[in-house]
Amino acid sequence: MVFHYASAEEQFAYSFGASDALGFPQRCALEGPDYVALPKGARALDLGCAVGRSSFELARACQHVIGVDYSQAFIDAANYLKQKGRHTAERHDEGSTTTRINVSIDPTIDRSRVQFEQGDAQHLRSDLGKFDLVLACNLICRLSEPTLLLNRLSDLIKPGGQLFITTPFTWLEAYTQRSNWLGDGAEDSFSGLRKSLEPYFRLAKSWDMPFIIREHARKYQYSVAQASRWIYVN
């Protein structure tokens, strides 16, 4: 909840370093898609939505957004935010010390445009329909068989529709056995991602997106996700 909704000052109180990595969930939604190319009344799918920040941000431009996450607890929190527009979060500060902070959804966002549901990105329900935009942010290297999702994407996106993926390619056998790592055992993961998506998708743009995760007031994880936008061409 802190990663998704806390203000920059609540997450990182220092005047030096790391500011470029804050606000990652909203940056994924606002910087990842090419909104000029999306049709009016666009339909979007946010896979691995967690507690929903990217899903709500997508609703600024998309008429209907579905957020899907494997964690029922995350989906419950996202639905509470949808209903109430606000929530509380416990921020770890030091040792056993925590601070309760209040988070909220921008009141200019139409929360009724967003729907949340629990689901497995590798085995999505068959009647989701097709979308103008699909987000999968920091998801694929936490799936046991990422190709199950990658192979399904062409069925989920309309011709000319967009796919936006971010991943730090942090392969861990606790989540994904080595034989399922993309790019021949992660020798070149992006090449493996590209091989899985082509020829159905054309790479439109790729770039680096830093993100920071707070552990406590004096310890943070700084990572760099590989971001890529794809167009469904077949």
**Taking the model in full, what pTM does it have?**
0.96
How far is the C-alpha of 196 from the C-alpha of 143, rounded, in Å? Answer: 15
Of 11, 69, 1, 34, nearest to 160 (Cα)? 34
**Does pLDDT of 17 surpass 90?**
no
At residue 169's C-alpha, the angle toward residues 52 and 16, to 5°, is 70
pLDDT at 204: 98
What DSSP designation does 39 have?
Answer: P
pLDDT at 230: 98
Give me the residue label for tokens 């666009």: 42
Q: Where are the domains of the chain?
A: 2-232
CATH 2.30.130.10 for domain 2-232, yes or no, is: no
Mean pLDDT of 79-103: 97
Mean pLDDT of 83-89: 97
**Does pLDDT of 234 surpass 80?**
no
